[in-house]
Chains A and B, each alone.
Chain A
């Protein structure tokens, strides 16, 4: 039931013929002014003017898709056709949408795409955004950050794409990113970690988009080598990669890991993250607001905050510290440190490695134990600032800030004075993990008496998905490391040095588990 006079039925990027009537004299400047004042108001002054004047001249509403006439100062709403009446009576056939900046032509009865006008619109929008980031408003100085805009290829990029016509299409069953690693002599401890890191989505995205700009003078930057490694893994080559340069760099920067004997994969992970973090320091282009807080990609992905609360048993004063962490090391039942009982204040007795639980221990059990209040005992009194004397206290660990990638280290290798052994107790771990019960904020709610914490299904902040599992087979003296990694949503592969095989979810979940890598399901905008 639309009456369309001789309307142009196809909108082309060349705009419509009716726009030419507008493009006279100083039209560009006038259009810019309209964008600055009434569409994307960047400064406090223009915002005030917009707030006051942008209402429909006919019905006074500030809603209903307000438009501004391009030929005169007239604001009217679209929904009630007030702007249409103006266009008809004054023969002003162009109007601009004050919400999105689109240009409407009443002759064509549609929004038009004019290259020149769109260019102006884009520039003005960028300008307004930048201003809002710098603008310190009364109480809130929170900017919005740089606006996301979809990628549009430049002339040069179009040329490059035309000259390089080969394309790689990522389908749901393609295996790009999977590549074996040759064992250079007991180097499976390094290989298994490399597999986990090259399949960490955010890390992969960082390196594949060339975000590392090296400031090191020498050739020994580990981040550059990591970048190269990603190129190798995503090159499409199926033959195993020989990581000799990586091994050499690791020996150079982490001397304690040098040599051809078997090392601990967990130690390698921490050493690697540490070297990467040091080499990354001034990498991300942004000036760190706080010189003590590094904003490198390693910190952004892996660093969490562990809160330690020490409560004096006499005055109940709490002393809190927050320490950064890259991983959570969890004690297991069967070790010489007692796992049971879980309740605080119970008698601490050494059970000779026997767990009293029925059924398998779960990761949640280990986390519960990790975050339980622990009575420090009379031989470990803490100086209380409230009581001004040494008192008995309890200590409790909780998560203050969760990292994007959480790595759990199951302490299977016991190196106490008496014995050196491997604890092979099976610990079951889930595919999806909710860390909410272990957060410092949850603890506070519990302390305020809110015991019945209804799980908020809309709060996705603490939900994690498993994406890599490092396993150790064998004994302390001679063992072998392998990794399960996740591709796409639910495909798992086993990486055993140079051999990559498909694995089932059951294989993964039934495995012993030494290092468990979880990735946040939902990412917050900063």
Chain B
């Protein structure tokens, strides 16, 4: 594993240990619901299901189709806020 990957892993460990990861997840969930992103994704999922047919569609189909769209539609303000929270957390727990 290269240095960057190791750093990512360490940060993830710290976030998980302290429970901050869960809190951030919930914050993200709330923000994405508020701004309507969740509803947009729901609508997209419905489209995919219509396309593939209810009897044949798998979770994997949805993941493959929705993921790129989902990533692109996250508002910058939400990204900014999460980044700020993570930075603040890292500053607090720097060692």
Contacts and interface: CB of A to CB of B under 8 A. Distances in A.
Interface residues of A, number: 29
B3 to A, nearest CB: 13
Contacts of A52: 13
Nearest to B11: A62
Given A51-B12, A132-B22, A144-B22, A9 B55 contact: yes
A132 B19 contact: yes
A interface: dominant SS: loop
Contacts of A279: none
Interface in A169-215: none
Contacts of B18: 47, 137-138, 140
B84 interface: no
Contact of B23 (A41, A44, A144): A144
Contact of B17 (A48, A102, A110, A522): A48
Interface magnitude class on chain B: 20 to 34
Interface string B16-35: 11111011001000100010
A210 to B, nearest CB: 25
A60 interface: yes
Contacts of B8: 62
Interface in B1-52: 1, 5, 8-9, 12-14, 16-20, 22-23, 26, 30, 34
A51 B20 CA distance: 12
A110 B22 contact: no
Contacts of A9: 55-56
Contacts of A137: 18-19
Contacts of B56: 9
A69 interface: no
Contacts of A144: 22-23, 26
Contacts, number: 54
A278 interface: no
A47 B17 contact: yes
B36 to A, nearest CB: 11
A458 B19 contact: no
A87 to B, nearest CB: 14
Given A102-B59, A111-B59, A139-B92, A55 B19 contact: no
A499 to B, nearest CB: 38
A111 B61 CA distance: 12
A156 B12 CA distance: 44
A51 B17 contact: yes
A375 to B, nearest CB: 40
Contacts of A41: 16
B23 A10 contact: no
A109 interface: yes
Given A41-B16, A44-B17, A55-B9, 5 more contacts: A51-B13, A110-B58, A110-B60, A137-B18, A142-B23
Interface of A: 9-10, 41, 44, 47-48, 50-52, 54-55, 60-62, 102, 109-111, 132, 135, 137-140, 142, 144, 458, 522, 525
26 contacts: A9-B56, A10-B55, A44-B19, A47-B16, A47-B17, A48-B17, A50-B16, A51-B14, A51-B17, A54-B16, A55-B9, A60-B9, A62-B9, A62-B13, A109-B58, A110-B59, A111-B58, A111-B59, A132-B19, A138-B18, A139-B92, A140-B20, A144-B22, A144-B26, A458-B77, A525-B30
